[in-house]
């Protein structure tokens, strides 16, 4: 073998040895950890708008106990959130204000049945700007001086669907349909009433309780609408299953349920 060929072979061996011994970039890069050495993770939770205040408090509570986990909330109408998840949005948990939206994701295979639970209940109320004297019940909505009422868009906002169902069962919907202003979620309904842009609105009791600018005029009978249930579950495509399961479990603890009850929810 010539000296030149030997040199080429030697160079090839050195190159192969160098590549084999070089650390993989992904393996070499240290993973971000907290002060206790736990790996940091960020969870995205798509949740009904009516849960905003309660979950904001729970977020602070959870951060104290799990500093390695950052919770990012995407609040909105349950129907819109469900469609986003169905279309592949990167979400770790879904907290719905309606069983049918949640069940759609279970049927599609986006949430495993064993990774979901019916967690909370709520009630439906009629609200008006504070110190409103002309409204005392749902039937007063048919008065001529009540020009506009607000509801969440029934197709995407469960509270709106429950509202229409209640008004139909009370025999009022046909008269009120023409004066209804639709909103993207219950918080927008609340805002319309707070600012006096409408005479009244239908929201969850929990939404009414967080505002000092509105008052509850009447409560829809439980027999006038489908039971209001809030299921929560882990989205199957999550890349952070263990962390998602940990937060999912925390939401079911007495500690978390007391926060929900403080904001007017009932535990199932």
pTM of the model: 0.79
Residues ≥6 apart with Cβ < 8 Å to 1:
none
Order of strands, edge to edge, in the sheet holding 111-121? Answer: 69-76, 41-48, 93-95, 229-235, 111-121, 266-267
As a whole-number percent, the residues of the chain with pLDDT over 70 amount to 86
User: Given its phi and psi angles, is residue 171 left (phi above 0), alpha (psi -120 to 50 degrees) or beta?
Assistant: left
Distances (CA, A) of 249 to 95, 115, 116, 231, 252: 13, 10, 10, 13, 5
Task: Please give the chain's pLDDT, 268 residues, in tens.
Answer: 555 545 444 544 444 444 444 444 444 444 455 445 678 999 999 999 999 999 999 999 999 999 999 999 999 999 999 999 999 999 999 999 999 999 999 999 999 999 999 999 999 999 999 988 889 999 999 999 999 999 999 999 999 999 999 999 999 999 999 999 999 999 999 999 999 999 999 999 999 999 999 999 999 999 999 999 999 999 999 999 999 999 999 999 999 999 999 999 999 9
Assign 70 to helix, strand or coil: strand
């Amino acid at each position: 073998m010539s000296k030149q060929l030997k040199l080429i072979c030697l160079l090839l061996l050195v190159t192969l040895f160098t590549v084999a011994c070089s650390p993989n970039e992904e393996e070499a890069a240290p993973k971000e950890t907290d002060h206790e050495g736990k790996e940091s993770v960020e969870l995205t939770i798509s949740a009904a708008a009516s849960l905003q205040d309660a979950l904001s408090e729970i977020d602070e509570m959870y951060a104290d106990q799990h500093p390695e986990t950052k919770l990012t909330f995407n609040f909105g109408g349950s129907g819109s959130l469900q469609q986003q998840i169905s279309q592949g949005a990167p979400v770790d948990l879904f907290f719905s204000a309606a069983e049918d939206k949640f069940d759609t994701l279970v049927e599609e295979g986006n949430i495993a049945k064993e990774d979901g639970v019916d967690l909370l209940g709520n009630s439906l109320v009629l609200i008006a700007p504070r110190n409103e004297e002309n409204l005392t019940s749902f039937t007063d909505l048919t008065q001529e001086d009540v020009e506009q009422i607000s509801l969440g868009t029934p197709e995407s906002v469960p509270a709106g669907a429950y509202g229409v169902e209640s008004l139909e069962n009370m025999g009022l919907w046909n008269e009120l349909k023409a004066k209804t202003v639709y909103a993207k979620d219950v918080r927008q309904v609340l805002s319309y009433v707070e600012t006096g842009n409408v005479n009244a609105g239908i929201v969850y009791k929990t939404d009414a309780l967080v505002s000092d600018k509105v008052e509850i005029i009447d409560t829809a009978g439980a027999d006038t609408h489908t039971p209001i249930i809030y299921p929560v579950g882990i989205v199957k495509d999550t890349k952070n299953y263990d962390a998602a399961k940990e937060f999912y479990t925390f939401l079911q603890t007495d500690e978390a349920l007391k926060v929900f009850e403080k904001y007017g929810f009932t535990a199932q």
